[in-house]
Structure 1
Amino acid sequence: MNFLSDPGRLTHIGSIIITLLSGVAVLFLRMRASNKPTTMRKIIMPPIGMSTGFLMFIAPVTRVPWSWALTAFAVGALLFAYPLIRTSKLERIGDTIVLKRSKMFIFILLALLLARLLLHDVVEQSVTIPQTGGLFFILAFGMIVVWRVAMLRAYKKLERVHNKSI
């Protein structure tokens, strides 16, 4: 059988390529965003904007049991958010607060992308492709929400310290 004639294999390879391209795009954006002034709005808007993705669950084909969704959220929130929190530091420079990028940040993002690719294949063996997409969306949402809440707390702390010194 010809390698390219198997639609399932082509779909799988396409999924991997899209994931890798998306991951590289995210890495590029994260690298550009670091060391630039940030605001509370810039911290809270990504999870708010991402939350519209939950509309995918209107389609029955993407729905998963609640226990699976909660597990995916917990894995993102407890496992995947931690390295991002540890490598994202906010600091005040003059009147602005900037996100200082750790030298390990790029490696953390690459490791998270690799873990996602490996986990994707495992999960996809048990559930449909649309359900897999839904579960990984929930995992990513859990990761982003926890990471951004930690950043928001650090941001507010820097603002309080600055306001007390004025």
Structure 2
Amino acid sequence: MLSSAHWLQYGSLAMSIIAGVAIITLRMKASNKPTNLRKIIIPPLGMSTGFLMFVVPQTHVPLLWALYALAAGVLLFAPPLIATSHFERIGEQIYLRRSRMFIYIIIGLFIVRIAMHDVVERHVSVMQTGALFFLLAFGMLVPWRLAMMLRYRQLLKNDVPSTSAST
């Protein structure tokens, strides 16, 4: 019979897989619809509410661990997403277009995350593991979305016709 700790671990893995599949599906469908600045900014703002988990003492981790998790998101996980996310204008609409490598990068990042999850969970509690992976994900999402926002605004700026009259 499995202990409650095993059920938590397997449940966490199952939820991670479900979330990963859902994210891949949503991202692939989103590339078929036009985007705007609001759609780029809302995910990190919504995700930031997750910091409320840290009011629960069981989620507390050493500050250095938290910084490592954030740094891993920023330095290891965000760059491939940034490199494979591009915008294009079709008529009056702007679409997010990812390279064909995007899906493979997402799957690769997901596999690395699952492998890291097992290693981390051997050394800290399930709730601390969740906190560390939240920080890693937030560290990945914010730079990716900032890069998308800058590219989106640059595309808008470059495509706006000049209104100055020549004399």
Task: For residue 112 of structure 1, report the CA deviation from its aligned partner.
Answer: 0.9
Alignment of 1:122-161 (within 5 A): 122-161=119-158
Aligned Cα root-mean-square deviation (Å) = 1.3
Q: Which residue of 2 aligns with 1:44?
A: 41
For residues 47-69 of structure 1, the C-alpha deviation after alignment (integer angstroms, 9 at most, x for no partner) is: 00000000000001001121111
Count of aligned positions: 163
Asked if the contact 1:39–1:97 (Cα under 8 Å) also holds between the matched residues in 2, the reply is yes
- Where does the alignment leave 5 or more consecutive residues of structure 1 unmatched? none
Q: Does the residue aligned with 2:97 lie in a helix, a strand or coil?
A: strand
Aligned partners of 2:93 and 2:26: how far apart in 1?
20
Q: Which residue of 2 aligns with 1:109?
A: 106
TM-score, L = length of structure 1: 0.93
Task: For residue 34 of structure 1, report the CA deviation from its aligned partner.
Answer: 0.8
Aligned partners of 2:152 and 2:17: how far apart in 1?
31
Residue from 21, 24, 28 that aligns with 1:24: 21
For residues 124-164 of structure 1, the C-alpha deviation after alignment (integer angstroms, 9 at most, x for no partner) is: 11111101100000000010001000000100100110114
Task: For residue 29 of structure 1, report the CA deviation from its aligned partner.
Answer: 0.4
Aligned-residue sequence identity (percent) comes to 53
Q: Which residue of 2 aligns with 1:78?
A: 75
Q: Which runs of 4+ in 1 moved over 3 A?
A: none
- Where does the alignment leave 5 or more consecutive residues of structure 2 unmatched? none
Residue 63 (structure 2) pairs with residue 60 (structure 1): no
Task: For residue 35 of structure 1, report the CA deviation from its aligned partner.
Answer: 3.2
From the two aligned structures, give the one with the greater helix fraction. Answer: 1
Residue from 96, 101, 104 that aligns with 1:99: 96
Aligned partners of 1:69 and 1:90: how far apart in 2?
32
For residues 89-136 of structure 1, the C-alpha deviation after alignment (integer angstroms, 9 at most, x for no partner) is: 111112111101221111111111111100001111111110110000
Aligned partners of 2:124 and 2:17: how far apart in 1?
21
